[in-house]
């Protein structure tokens, strides 16, 4: 089984002033996330990487670049999920040829499939690749939610090795408590990472780890070593950051806030692609104060 680690970063995709991928900034960002923010795996071309507005060619270029630049220093997980099963199979297979370590597959959005339809979707993709697969349940974006029962049924498939769970803590608890050995649950919400680990999650797939990964890794380790009070204090310290990156002060679509935050540290210009918008002046001031 591939160990993706406990701290995984859903990486942004830096753009230049021509609205193209900034490869120089992307390379420096990968180094920074590995060396300074302690990311053990990077999710490339996930939602935080603006997958809805990346072309297939750009995604394949990103997978190839990330694998080569990381050079084994961390795992590279390709965001290859969509609401088109056939296309997800093809993209996953192409990503595998480029040497990625795994695939993240989001619950099909907009189509509103049934639980049986979601099971068949993920099963078909898993059977078409040897890559380890992490499911991604994010009801706030996909409208439908993969149930705990369906997740546990999918966990019986050999190469479906984990789930990024953004539903309730109750669902995290149920999946973690009933999953087969080796199947790992990852919190998909920074603000509930501490609670998720307390009820059995293995780690987190994070956005805030772009700016506080080292501290988050410390919090997770303190928790695992039984120093719950220290871990709780670290979580309390980080909570305003976790919440603020999604509310500036009104809800701001991911990844607009974190891309601006990273531009302040010299990684890209903070631009996002339409239909997303960069933070307003008031939002930028809020993020500056938060940081």
> Which residues are catalytic, by number?
136, 164
Q: What's the Cα-to-Cα distance from 255 to each of 37, 41, 80, 277, rounded to whole Å?
A: 18, 18, 18, 10
What are the DSSP calls for 194-212, one per residue? HHHHHTT--EEEESTHHHH
Strand ranges, E, within 51-183: 75-79, 102-106, 133-137, 160-165
Strand ranges, E, within the chain: 7-10, 41-44, 75-79, 102-106, 133-137, 160-165, 184-187, 203-206
CB of 11 within 8 A of CB of 44?
Answer: yes
CA dihedral 9, 81, 242, 139 (to 10 degrees): -160
CB of 203 within 8 A of CB of 184?
Answer: yes
> Using CA atoms, how far apart are residues 199 and 190, in angstroms rounded to an integer?
15
């Amino acid at each position: 089984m591939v160990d993706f680690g406990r701290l995984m970063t859903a990486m942004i995709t830096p753009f230049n002033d021509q609205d193209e991928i900034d490869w120089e900034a992307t390379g420096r960002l990968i180094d920074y996330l590995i060396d300074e923010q302690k990311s053990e795996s990077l999710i490339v071309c996930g939602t935080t990487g603006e997958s809805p507005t990346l072309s297939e060619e750009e995604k394949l270029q990103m997978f190839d670049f990330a694998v080569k630049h990381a050079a084994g220093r961390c795992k590279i997980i390709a965001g290859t999920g969509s609401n088109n099963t056939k296309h997800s199979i093809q993209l996953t297979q192409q990503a595998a040829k480029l040497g990625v370590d795994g695939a993240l597959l989001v619950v099909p959005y907009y189509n509103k499939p049934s639980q049986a339809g979601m099971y068949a979707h993920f099963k078909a993709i898993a059977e078409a690749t040897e890559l380890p697969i992490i499911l991604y349940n994010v009801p706030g974006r996909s409208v439908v939610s993969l149930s705990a029962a369906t997740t546990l049924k999918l966990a019986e498939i050999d190469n479906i090795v984990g789930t990024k769970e953004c539903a309730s803590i109750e669902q995290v608890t149920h999946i973690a408590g009933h999953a087969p050995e080796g199947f790992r649950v990852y919190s998909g919400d920074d603000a509930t990472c501490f609670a998720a680990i307390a009820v059995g999650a293995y780690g987190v797939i994070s956005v805030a780890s772009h700016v506080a990964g080292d501290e988050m890794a410390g919090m997770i380790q303190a928790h695992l070593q039984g120093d719950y009070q220290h871990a709780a204090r670290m979580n309390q310290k980080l909570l305003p950051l976790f919440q603020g990156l999604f509310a500036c002060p009104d809800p701001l679509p991911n990844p607009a806030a974190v891309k601006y935050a990273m531009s302040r540290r010299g990684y890209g210009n903070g631009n996002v692609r339409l239909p997303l918008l960069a933070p307003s002046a008031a939002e930028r001031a809020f993020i500056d104060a938060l940081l």
